[in-house]
Structure 1
């Protein structure tokens, strides 16, 4: 057992008998001290395929010989990654019963939990949905990345269109990469089954509910939380504010995209008028064709700008709206766990006063579960904030580049037309002087 206080290592103690309720790699507090429980064999930690709380371990235990100084960069470094996944190659399948799209899921890994170093399987949306539900059930203390929405409005969006399938494929790829990069979720057996099982239906009976997950389900609705701790109140307020900002950005972006689409229709018609006019005016053929060409160039630039907004900006905004829902769900589960602890503690105190009995073990278990929730939630919150900053930095940079590119193309087209008209004017002037 490694004793620590304020993330500083105090001492190491070997224990012959360990309480059954302690989970290897988990963080606990008791008797005024905090500690991380790690099982050692011949002086080395036992490697487990699914650590109970690797995030809390990395955040609270810092050993110079084993960990890098900056734990935030540890997860992001490709040198420490040993699981790589990619979603691509969508294919349409048509049968007498249904029509659906499958995606190729490619996996490369060096982990001993996998029988092979590489896998290539095809999965449909409902398989990704199955994986996410299993992750939520088996890892209730962690933030599970969101999936793109399953249902689309019939008649408004064609779910088999090339644009829709491409957008969904990118979203599924991002979802799976986030899960595979997570220090705890990536070890989940359900993810292993998703990446390796040829027939996923055969593995759907796989059960992995942690003690924390079972407790949360039993405690849901059983107690009323007195007061959420200030730090989690700040999280909830931030999520509400961020959600409002994303909603406003989404509405404005949708309106801009609609206006750009309408403008593009008018611009194309505008260009065709000049092209038709050039056929009936011999003296103005070149300048009119030049204007038509400039308008056509502007149409192409506007198409690229609108495509960037519809396929890059809007999906990211929607993803983070769904992310907020997922984070609120984890916060709610944390509150339920705390409510269970408060309820049991209050009942135990009353019994102790009346019967002079010691605090039941169940109360200590509930306290440990709350600490597990807190540690995992804080770690996932930091990861989420880091991903958010990176995603929006890339998004805003891409938006700026696309707008600059749009105006540069338009400016270049019209400048070339001005040069052409000036050359024609100079040529006509020279011909007049010669006459």
Structure 2
């Protein structure tokens, strides 16, 4: 490969190696991630798409502001979201508890259906525990350093706060593991990784194989780049980093507020149940008011059930998505750091080669060209994964927010219907009283 015309740069408009002291990809347009919404000067999260800043007059206009339309061009372009092009389907379900003298743990059934020739059979069914999923993610991160690896749910939980063997916790973790595996299986590169093949098909995983190499991942890059400071991250990757910082802040704030709402709802639910019990006890001692008082108690009980269901939906459906994307952001930042290390290695080798060439006119070392190829590959893979991640994020948050809206509407409709039924009961009681007085 010619040093003056590196592969993949001539058509993209990037500068040749002769001008390498400038950041790679600096000529490309940076990602636009700033938007002023409702007077808030913080960075917005619509990738530069113009947004109406006026106050929404209805729920539909609010959803339009959130850029959640079905006809988003990026979603249409995402071919990997279509089931027509997929040939690998995985499912995680059926959690089972295993108790032995040494430990207690949960395994999950991993079912696979595929038409790929890399698999010996069209269907597989194996059982895996959390540490097996963790092994798979580690191997993917090791063997595919230029790609974004989907996150796993947190491994450790606070003892005394969360029971990791409770039905609710196991169900939430199972859904997260299922989503992790589906994201890997839908990825056009990760899905062909041999470690994924072994995870899906092998009865017993040989997890010790290759462990010695894991501790050495990136050591050569860190060694070369350790004493070299990156000149400048390209503008488009700077924009990615800024977007991730802003997105982290937004999600963190929403997560904290949602946790506080859940806590307050739990306290309110306790008092509401006591409130209903008072009316029930009162009705037992008031013959004249028995039906109205029992009606109020019934309304309160209905509202308690609706609130309990709403809190459960927030805890099991809403919060896990927020936490997944907080972890996703950390994964993306990790890939960005690796990209920076690779660029720093390239710039360091190039600078040393230029100095040697000035002194003794030696040709440009092959290692420099390989490093440049590595940077180009990293940039291309990262940008492709970024676009795929943004598309998935739009779809996930569209589903999350519309689902949350539907569940809130359902909650208030149940409460409204309960209290409206009480009005009918009171009106009937009033009619009966008037009839009795007339007679």
With the shorter chain as reference, the TM-score category is: 0.7 to 0.9
* From 375, 381, 388, the counterpart of 1:370: 375
Question: 1:148 is matched with which residue: 150, 153, 178?
Answer: 153
Q: Structure 2 residue aligned with 1:112, among 100, 117, 127? A: 117
Question: How much does 1:398 deviate?
Answer: 0.7
After TM superposition, give the deviation of residue 28 of structure 1 in Å. 3.4
What TM-score does the superposition give when structure 1 sets the normalisation length? 0.82
What's 2:342 paired with? 337
Could you list the runs of 5+ residues in structure 2 that have no partner in the other structure?
Answer: 14-73
Larger mean CA deviation between 120-129 and 220-229 belongs to: 220-229
Corresponding residue for residue 172 of structure 1: 177
Go from structure 1 to structure 2 and tell me whether the alpha carbon gap of 1:213 and 1:119 turns closer, same or farther (over 3 Å shift): farther
Q: Which of 296, 313, 317 matches 1:312?
A: 317
Q: Is the 8 A contact 1:85 1:107 kept in 2?
A: yes
Structure 2 Cα separation of the partners of residues 71 and 304 of structure 1: 35
Task: Verify: 1:91 aligned to 2:70, yes or no.
Answer: no
Q: Judging changes above 3 Å, is the alpha-carbon distance between structure 1 residues 213 and 115 closer, same or farther for their aligned structure 2 residues? A: farther
Alignment check: 8 A CA contact 2:276 2:297 kept: yes
Distance in 2 of aligned mates of 1:338 and 1:365: 12
Secondary structure, aligned partner of 1:28 = coil
1:59-81 CA-to-partner distances (Å, cap 9, x unmatched) read xxxxxxxxxx9983321111110
Aligned partners of 1:206, 1:183: CA distance in 2, in Å?
Answer: 26
Q: Where does structure 1 differ by over 6 angstroms across 4 or more consecutive aligned residues?
A: 206-209
Aligned to 1:417: 422
Q: Give the length in aligned residue pairs.
A: 373
Q: Match for residue 52 of structure 1?
A: none
Aligned-residue offset at 1:34: 6.6
Quick one: distance in 2 between partners of 1:117 and 1:291?
59
Shift in Å, 1:357: 1.2
Instruction: Check conservation: 1:246, 1:317, Cα contact below 8 A.
Output: yes
Deviations 1:302-351 (A, max 9, x none): 01110111111111111111001000000000000000110111011111
Q: Which has the higher contact order (CA 8 A, sep 6+)?
A: 2
CA distance in 2 between counterparts of 1:188 and 1:427 reads 76
Alpha carbons of structure 1 residues 222 and 84: separation in structure 2 relative to 1, 3 Å = farther
Q: Distance in 2 between matches of 1:105 and 1:207?
A: 27
In 1, the alpha carbon distance for the partners of 2:397 and 2:76 equals: 22
State the 1:204 CA deviation: 3.7
- Flag the 1:163–1:92 CA change in 2: closer, same or farther, 3 A: same
Kindly indicate whether the alpha-carbon contact (under 8 Å) linking 2:135 and 2:207 is maintained by their aligned counterparts in 1.
Answer: no
Q: CA deviation at 1:203?
A: 7.1
| Gap change, CA 1:106 and 1:124, over 3 Å in 2 | same
Task: For 2:88 and 2:228, locate their aligned partners in 1 and report how far apart those are by CA, in whole Å.
Answer: 41
Indicate how the Cα distance of structure 1 residues 197 and 220 shifts in structure 2: closer, same or farther if over 3 A, else same.
farther
Question: Going by fraction, where is strand more abundant, 1 or 2?
Answer: 1
CA distance in 1, matches of 2:270, 2:436: 41
User: Following the alignment from structure 1 to structure 2, what is the Cα–Cα distance between the partners of residues 87 and 195?
Assistant: 11
CA contact (8 A) 1:219 1:337 kept: no
- Contact 2:98 2:107 (8 Å CA) reproduced: yes
Structure 1: 5+ residue runs without aligned partners?
1-18, 20-26, 36-68
Partner Cα separation in structure 2 for residue 100 and residue 142 of structure 1: 31
Q: Which residue of 1 aligns with 2:292?
A: 287
| SS of corresponding position for 1:373 | helix
Query: Separation in 1 of the partners of 2:199 and 2:166?
Result: 26
- Secondary structure of the structure 2 residue equivalent to 1:29: coil
1:356 aligns with 2:376: no
Report what 1:427 is aligned to.
432
SS of the aligned residue for 1:223 comes to: coil
Query: 2: CA distance between counterparts of 1:263 and 1:87?
Result: 36
Note closer, same or farther for the CA distance 1:141–1:219 as it changes in structure 2 (3 Å cut). farther
Distance 1:363 1:116 in 2: 44
**Which of 73, 77, 80 pairs up with 1:75?**
80
Question: Are the counterparts in 2 of residues 102 and 122 from structure 1 also a CA contact under 8 Å?
Answer: yes
Pairwise CA distance, 1:201: 2.8
Q: How far did 1:205 drift?
A: 4.0
Q: Secondary structure at the match of 1:389?
A: helix
Distance 2:298 2:221 in 1: 65
For residue 124 of structure 2, give the secondary structure of its aligned residue in structure 1: strand
Query: Shift of residue 29 of structure 1?
Result: 2.7
- Give the Å deviation of 1:33: 4.9
Matched, 1:196 2:201: yes
Q: CA 1:194–1:217 in 2, change beyond 3 Å: closer, same or farther?
A: farther
Structure 2 match to 1:223: 228
Name the CA distance, whole Å, in 1 between partners of 2:380 and 2:312.
41
Query: Where does residue 277 of structure 2 map in the other structure?
Result: 272
